[in-house]
């Protein structure tokens, strides 16, 4: 009956249309082994049979009395992804041999992956029914295939009903057949943890809700992977009896990852179900720092104050962290929830051995304290041994520093790091005239052209004494970056800069910078 | 500079003891920082969490003290190259293999002075093209890597590492069992056909296809198919991203059937571990379909995915990665 319904579709698609593989990259990584190399194309062997012959022979073998032949046929048919072949495979799903059923399921998965998904509801339901297969490998394959089966399983439909004597059509939402739902419920307590995990993960998409005691049981699953998935689904069952108690019991789970996940789950639940905040409070006493501190910060996100003692513990935990990764990273980026209480933590992390931790600590520390207002706050950050830290701090400071004194500027100029000296050049913009006068020369003779060119740009901007002569001379520099900075400076001043530039162009019409200068002037409406 | 590198190595050699169950002894000499070459250019960083996750795992599972924050260098001429003993390169993340003579000279000196280079994805079947989501293990470095290292060590070609090489058992030995995979004893680790293939052909005794270059009688560089895809973990310890298996399967009548089965693609000859050639049948850009082996046997490629497959692959790659990095420090 089922076959008769889909056959027209099969023939409509045609037998000759073969799709070997999907056109897009699979989202999963494929690992394969066994040799390769020196791949050279070779001519194809002749005498291959037609697609029809191949499929006919395979379909005959699929009915063979020999298990091995049926297995071979099922494996081969996986390579020909089209509706007709899928139908052949589905017909063999109830084979008496589990070896054949396994091969059939793997080949069907291959079809789904290779651009021949099955949407026919009856066929998809048949595949899904293998979630109750006696063989664990078949059940695993079926459960892993659930996301691909859902479009077919959940197809909505139309029904004709009588309203006040009138016949009308109305839509019927997609729903899992009751017997299949029973199988799915049974799969949630399957002896195999992979099956339990897969069905649990996708049961919401299958549009059924399990009984609360089943969920509670899964929350206590001995397999950590199942448990982690159950925590992901906790919101749906949070209000049901037993869920809270089981989640509270998880605060004593031996796996740190589970307790950390519990903290994260409860943070989310705590917004809608205030009683769950109690679990976070319990977790703040967890013996593992990362769990306790994460919970404390999560409580802060929910508006609760964090004690000084806990802040000390956060400092201790982050100070011991090897870097800004994993849970330490999650915790660090959650610290903003503490508001000004986090200042002390950031300050304590400024000397952290990890560059990533130091750089973020410096950025947060300076942001919270508005440290850019005082050079003494950021001076040490620019002496950091790691460029990552220096660059992060410089990004924050640029455009924010409003003043700089002689000593601080001199120290920056003496830095062995180019980006710091370049920053010193930028600070000429906010330094007092006298300070600029004393310091700019050191920057102009810097070994790095970026520092020199930045200095020139700053001097033009503030129109320091003698800047025009300086820029005019710099046009003759060998370094193109310097010439460019000098040109830009002169272009920016109509009164004295442009005449100096025009004079240069008359004297050196063929210099490298001259062509660019002429073009710039022409764009300004000046014909040199 | 030479003396500093040699000093570092002597310290590391002193602090590690190897063996699957033995605890690694380590003095508090500060964290070891692994360098990663990451160049600017049009390339995609596919597994950004891989190396930090692996380094963190090594800290968890052994008494080794790695800084999980890799030191990224953009150029091999970076002076910091000589401050750290191990350089990790994911060849799939390099926009190209164009290195200046200055960089090549620096790398040659680095390897000569005791540095170790791990070329992940340094082995890659050419028919996979630019598809970074697939790997196909081989026993020869990819052509670009060969051309690159010919400039450094013209007389030292890459050679395959034997299955009994120490690198495969530096810390972990063999394949992950149920206990390591955190599975109940009665749980099925993998589908039967997959487990058989893995144990007998894919990763026998936890080995893998790797090639290496010796410098001054020391293994100074190894290349492997992409392993980084197996190293990532999320903050709760779950493996990311999912990995599938490609498995060679046979059936009683495949020798006759696959010879004549309908096929509209191309074939590629590829060299095996034993030096003989497989004939791979595939539609370019897609996954290989089947293979004719030099013995005359035909086998079909089947693809397996799922939690258990992915967890197993991740566990294997993580163990292999640990073995490589710890070997690098010990030798």
B255 vs A239: CA distance, rounded Å? 60
Reply yes or no on whether the pLDDT at A250 is more than 50. Answer: yes
What is the rounded distance in angstroms from the CA atom of residue A305 to the CA atom of residue A314? Answer: 14
Please provide the DSSP assignment of A30-96 as one string.
EEE-S---S-EEEPPPS-PPPHHHHHHHHHHHTT-S-HHHHHHHHHHHTTSBSHHHHHHHHHTTT-S
Question: Taking the alpha carbons of A502, A506, A507, A511 in that order, is the dihedral positive or negative?
Answer: positive
Note whether B249 and B299 are within 8 A (CB). Answer: yes
Residues B279 and B235 grouped into a single domain: no
Spell out which residues of chain B touch residue A32, defining contact as CB-CB under 8 Å.
134-137, 245-246, 288, 301
**Set of chain A residues whose Cβ sits within 8 Å of the Cβ of B265:** 20
d(CA B300, CA A35): 15
Query: Do residues B228 and B295 both lie within one domain?
Result: no
The mean per-residue pLDDT over the stretch A256-269 comes to 91
Q: Is the pLDDT of residue B10 over 50?
A: no
pLDDT for B290 beyond 60 = yes
Residues facing residue B86 across a β-bridge: B116
Cis previous bond, B225, omega within 30:
no
Average confidence (pLDDT) over A141-150: 95
Query: How would residue B270 be classed by pLDDT, with cut points 50, 70 and 90?
Result: confident
B18 with B166, same domain?
yes
0.90 surpassed by complex ipTM: no
Contact between A279 and A248 under an 8 Å Cβ cutoff? The reply is yes
Of residues B87 and A17, more confidently modeled: B87
Are B151 and B111 members of one domain?
Answer: yes
Local confidence band at B15 (pLDDT 50, 70, 90 cut-offs): very low
pLDDT of residue A54: 94
Residue B266 has its nearest CB partner, among A41, A78, A222, at A41
Signed CA dihedral, A163, A168, A173, A179: sign only = positive
For chain B, give the mean pLDDT: 85
- Split into its structural domains, chain B has a count of 2
pLDDT at A467: 93
The answer to whether residues B232 and B241 touch, using CB atoms and an 8 Å cutoff, is yes
CB distance B282 to B265 below 8 Å:
yes
Residue B133 and residue B179 in one domain: yes
Q: Are residues B179 and B260 located together in one domain of the fold?
A: no
- Kindly report the average pLDDT of chain A as a whole number: 88
Question: Residue A326 and residue B235: Cβ atoms within 8 Å?
Answer: yes
125-184 in B: which are within 8 Å (CB) of A?
125-127, 131-140, 182-184
Query: For residue B128, what are the contacts with CB-CB under 8 A and spacing of at least 6?
Result: B134, B135, B136
The kind and range of the H/E element at B309 are helix B307-330
CA nearest neighbour of A75 among A89, A65, A87, A64: A89
Instruction: Kindly state the tokens that stand for A37.
Output: 């190399």
User: For the ranges A270-274, B3-7, B177-181, B195-199, which has the lowest average pLDDT?
Assistant: B3-7
Segment 30-89 of chain B within 8 Å of chain A by CB: 30-31, 52-53, 55-56, 59, 66-69
- B125 vs A contacts (CB less than 8 Å): 36-37, 39
- Chain A hits for B257, Cβ within 8 Å: 57-58, 72, 76
Provide the pairing of β-strand B290-292 with B298-304. antiparallel
Confidence band for B41, pLDDT divided at 50, 70 and 90: low
Asked if the Cβ–Cβ distance from B140 to A38 is below 8 Å, we say: yes
Percent of chain A past pLDDT 70, that is, above it, reads 91
Q: Would you say residue A79 has pLDDT above 70?
A: yes
- Out of B138, B229, B289, the one facing A35 most closely (by C-beta) is B138
Do both B31 and B78 map to the same domain? yes
On whether both B268 and B189 belong to a single domain, the answer is no
% of chain A surpassing 90 pLDDT: 73
CA atoms within 13 A on the CB side of B135: 30
CA distance B282 to B259: 14
Residues of chain A with C-beta less than 8 angstroms from the C-beta of B270: 35-39
Considering the domain architecture, whether residues B159 and B270 belong to the same structural domain is answered as no
pLDDT at A266 over 60: yes
Q: Which of A370, A367, A369, A347 is nearest to A357 (CA)?
A: A347
Residue A216, pLDDT score? 97
pLDDT at site B285: 72
Which segments of A92-233 does DSSP mark as H helices, in order? 98-113, 121-128, 136-144, 146-153, 178-187, 193-202, 212-219, 224-232
Q: Does B313 score more than 50 pLDDT?
A: yes
Same domain, yes or no, for B198 and B265?
no
Angstroms from B35 CA to nearest CA on chain A: 14
> For chain A, what is the largest distance between any 2 Cα atoms, rounded to a whole number of angstroms?
101
Contact B202 A41 (CB under 8 A): no
| Mean pLDDT of the region A111-131 | 94
CATH number at residue B228: 3.40.50.12140
| Distance in angstroms between the alpha carbons of the first and the last residue of chain B | 19
For every residue of A298-357, which 3-state class applies, written as one string? HHHHCCCCCCHHHHHHHHHHHHHCCCCCHHHHHHHHHHHHHHHHHHHHHHHCCCCCCHHH
* Candidate from A53-57, B44-48, B81-85 with smallest mean pLDDT: B44-48
Confidence of residue A278 (pLDDT cuts 50, 70, 90): very high
pLDDT digit string (tens) for B94-148? 989 999 999 999 999 999 999 999 999 999 876 666 655 667 777 889 999 999 9
Q: Which residue has the tokens 């508005």?
A: A370
Q: Which of B182, B246, B288 sits opposite A224 (nearest CB)?
A: B182
pLDDT digits (tens, 9 = 90+) for B136-153: 777 889 999 999 999 999
> What's the CA angle centered on A402, arms A400 and A405, to 5 degrees?
130
Answer left, alpha or beta for residue A207, where phi above 0 means left and psi between -120 and 50 means alpha. left
Domain that holds residue B288: 246-303
Residues B32 and B75 in one domain: yes
3-state secondary structure of B7: helix
Which positions in chain B touch A260 (Cβ < 8 Å)? 235-236
The pLDDT confidence band at residue A61, using thresholds 50, 70 and 90, is: very high
Neighboring chain A residues of B280 at a CB cutoff of 8 Å: 36, 39
- How much of chain B, in percent, has pLDDT values that exceed 90? 58
In this predicted structure, the answer to whether residue A407 has a pLDDT above a threshold of 90 is: yes
B263/B197 same-domain check:
no
Tell me how far apart the alpha carbons of residues A282 and A299 are, in angstroms, rounded to a whole number. 11
Task: Indicate if the pLDDT at residue B211 is higher than 90.
Answer: yes
Interchain CB distance below 8 Å, B263 and A48? yes
According to the per-residue pLDDT averaged within each range, which of A119-133, B22-36, B286-300 is highest? A119-133
Q: Which pLDDT does position A355 carry in this prediction?
A: 86
Question: Cα–Cα distance between B104 and B102 in angstroms, integer?
Answer: 6
Whether the predicted pLDDT of B83 surpasses 70: yes
State the average pLDDT over residues B60-66. 89
Residue B299: closest CA among B193, B204, B195, B210: B193
B220: left (phi over 0), alpha (psi -120 to 50) or beta: alpha
Q: How far apart are alpha carbons B22 and B35 in whole angstroms?
A: 27
Quick one: three-class SS letters along B16-60? CCCCCCCCCCCCCCCCEEEEEECCCCCCCCCCCCHHHHHHHHHHH
Query: Quick one: DSSP state of residue B243?
Result: E
């Amino acid at each position: 009956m089922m076959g008769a319904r889909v056959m027209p579709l099969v023939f409509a698609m045609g037998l000759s249309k073969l799709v070997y593989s999907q056109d897009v990259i699979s989202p999963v990584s494929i690992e394969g082994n066994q040799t390769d190399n020196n791949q050279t194309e070779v001519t194809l062997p002749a005498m291959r049979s037609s697609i029809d012959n191949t499929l006919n022979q395979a379909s005959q073998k699929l009915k063979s009395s020999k298990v091995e032949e049926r297995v071979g046929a099922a494996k081969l048919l996986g390579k020909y992804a089209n509706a007709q072949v899928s139908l052949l495979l589905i017909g063999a799903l109830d084979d008496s041999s589990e070896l054949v059923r396994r091969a059939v399921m793997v080949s069907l998965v291959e079809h789904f992956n290779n651009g021949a998904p099955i949407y026919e509801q009856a066929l998809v339901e048949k595949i899904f029914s293998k979630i109750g297969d006696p063989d664990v490998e078949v059940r695993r394959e079926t459960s892993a295939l659930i996301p691909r089966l859902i479009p077919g399983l959940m197809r909505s439909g139309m029904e004709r009903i009588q309203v006040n004597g009138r016949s009308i059509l109305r839509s019927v939402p997609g729903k899992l057949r009751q017997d299949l739902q029973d199988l799915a419920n049974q799969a949630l307590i399957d002896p195999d943890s992979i099956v339990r995990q897969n069905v649990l993960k996708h049961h919401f998409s299958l549009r059924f809700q399990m009984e609360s005691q089943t969920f509670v049981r899964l929350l206590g699953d001995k397999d950590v992977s199942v448990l982690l998935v159950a925590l992901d689904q906790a919101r749906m069952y949070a209000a049901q009896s037993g869920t809270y108690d089981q989640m509270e019991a998880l605060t004593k789970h031996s796996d740190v990852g589970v307790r950390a996940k519990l903290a994260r789950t409860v943070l989310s639940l705590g917004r809608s179900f205030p009683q769950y905040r109690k679990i976070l409070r319990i977790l703040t006493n967890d013996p593992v720092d990362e769990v306790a501190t994460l919970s404390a910060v999560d409580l802060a996100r929910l508006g609760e104050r964090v004690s000084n003692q806990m802040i000390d513990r956060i400092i201790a935990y982050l100070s011991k962290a090897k870097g800004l990764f994993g849970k330490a990273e999650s915790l660090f980026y959650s610290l903003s929830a503490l508001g000004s209480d986090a200042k002390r933590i950031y300050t304590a992390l400024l000397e952290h051995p990890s560059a990533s931790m130091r750089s973020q600590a410096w950025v947060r520390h300076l942001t919270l304290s508005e440290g850019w207002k005082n050079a003494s706050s950021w001076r040490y950050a620019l002496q950091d041994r790691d460029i990552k830290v220096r660059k992060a701090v410089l990004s924050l400071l640029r455009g924010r520093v409003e003043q700089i004194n002689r000593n601080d500027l001199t120290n920056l100029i003496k830095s062995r790091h180019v980006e710091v000296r370049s920053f010193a050049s930028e600070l000429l913009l906010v330094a007092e005239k006298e300070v600029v006068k004393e310091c700019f020369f050191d920057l102009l003779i810097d070994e790095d052209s970026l520092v020199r060119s930045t200095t020139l740009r700053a001097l033009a901007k503030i129109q320091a004494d003698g800047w025009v002569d300086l820029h005019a001379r710099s046009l003759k520099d060998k370094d193109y970056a310097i010439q460019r900075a000098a040109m830009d400076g002169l272009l920016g001043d109509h009164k004295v800069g442009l005449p100096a530039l025009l004079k240069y162009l008359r004297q050196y019409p063929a210099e490298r910078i001259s062509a660019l200068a002429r073009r710039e002037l022409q764009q300004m409406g000046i014909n040199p | 500079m030479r003396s500093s590198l040699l000093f570092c190595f002597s310290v590391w050699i002193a602090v590690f003891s190897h063996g699957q169950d033995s605890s690694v002894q380590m003095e508090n000499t500060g964290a070891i920082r692994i360098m990663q070459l990451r160049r600017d250019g049009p390339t995609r960083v596919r597994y950004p969490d891989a190396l930090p996750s692996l380094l963190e795992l090594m800290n968890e599972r052994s008494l080794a003290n790695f800084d999980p924050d890799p030191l990224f260098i953009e150029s091999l001429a970076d002076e910091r190259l000589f401050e750290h003993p191990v350089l990790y390169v994911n060849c799939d993340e390099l926009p190209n293999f164009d290195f200046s003579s200055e960089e090549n000279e620096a790398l040659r000196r680095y390897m000569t002075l005791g540095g170790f280079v791990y070329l992940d994805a340094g082995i890659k079947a050419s028919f996979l093209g630019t598809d970074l989501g697939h790997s196909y293990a081989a026993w020869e470095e990819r052509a670009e890597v060969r051309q690159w290292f010919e400039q450094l060590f013209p007389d030292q070609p890459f050679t395959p590492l034997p299955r009994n090489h120490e690198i495969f058992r530096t810390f972990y030995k063999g394949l992950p069992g149920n206990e390591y995979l955190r599975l109940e004893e009665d749980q099925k680790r993998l589908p039967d056909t997959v487990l058989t293939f893995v144990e007998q052909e894919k990763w026998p005794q936890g080995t893998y296809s790797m090639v290496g270059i010796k410098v001054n009688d020391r293994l100074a560089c190894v290349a492997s198919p992409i392993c980084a895809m197996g190293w990532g973990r999320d903050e709760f310890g779950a493996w990311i991203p999912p990995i599938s298996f490609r498995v060679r399967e046979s059936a009683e009548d495949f020798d006759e059937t696959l010879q004549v089965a309908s096929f509209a693609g191309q074939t590629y000859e590829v060299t095996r571990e034993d030096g003989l050639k497989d004939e791979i049948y595939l539609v370019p850009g897609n996954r290989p379909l089947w293979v004719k082996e030099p013995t005359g046997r035909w086998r079909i490629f089947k693809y397996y995915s799922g939690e258990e497959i992915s967890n197993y692959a991740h566990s294997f790659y993580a163990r292999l990665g640990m073995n490589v990095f710890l070997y690098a420090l010990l030798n």
